[in-house]
Every structure is written in C-alpha cells, then in structure tokens.
Amino acid sequence: MPALRRKLNYRNIVLHDEPSRETIGVATREGDYRYLPWLGFIELRLARRIPGARPVKLQAEAVSPTEGLSSDWRTLEAGEHVQGCLLGRGVFGVLNKGFPRIV
C-alpha cells in the first residue's frame, strides 16, 4: 500500500491507507495550510463519483508506492502537492493506479 510522509517540526509522520489521529495540511486559496484529519487513500475514479467531494492540494514531503522506512521515497519538488479529496471534515489522498497523484 502507498504512503505519504510529512514533517512536523523534526518528526517524520508517515500516513498510510488507514484513517489515523494524524492530520495533513490542505492548501488554502490564501497560500496557507489548514490541518484536517487523515482518512486514508482513495482511487481517483472512486473520488470522482462521490457527491460533494472537492479536490484539494495536500502538503507532503515525499510519497512512496509501498509502506515502510526502507521504501523507495520520491521527494516532492517545491510547488508540488499530492492531490486530496475533501469530504466533510477529513481528507483522503488520491491514488492514480495505486500511486499518490502529484499535482
């Protein structure tokens, strides 16, 4: 299963496919980030079918096709985000063919 990595101060937080107590930054129009609960991952084709779902940009440092510290992590460049799917008060990471979608 894929994973996202984000930083909180000096701590690396790895977000997996399952909901957790962790949060992830969602980009606002003003250029700031608002932190919402992580709900896991969802495939793009399913996210498009959910009424009321909104595409958002998620703040992440790196993505990986598999879980674990020894995974092959791809560091995101400046200005790159992972696409998210905002539902109510939480957010999913969007997958395209099993890999986190970079926007």
Domain range spanning residue 26?
Answer: 3-100
Q: How many other C-beta atoms can be found within 10 angstroms of the C-beta atom of residue 18?
A: 10
Secondary structure of 2-67 in the HEC alphabet?
CEEEEEECCEEEEECCCCCCCEEEEECCCCCEEEEEEEEEEEHHHHCCCCCCEEEEECCCEEECCC
pTM: 0.88
Q: What is the pLDDT of residues 42-96, one digit of tens each?
A: 999 999 999 999 999 999 999 988 776 666 888 999 889 999 999 988 999 999 9
What total of structural domains would you count in the chain?
A: 1
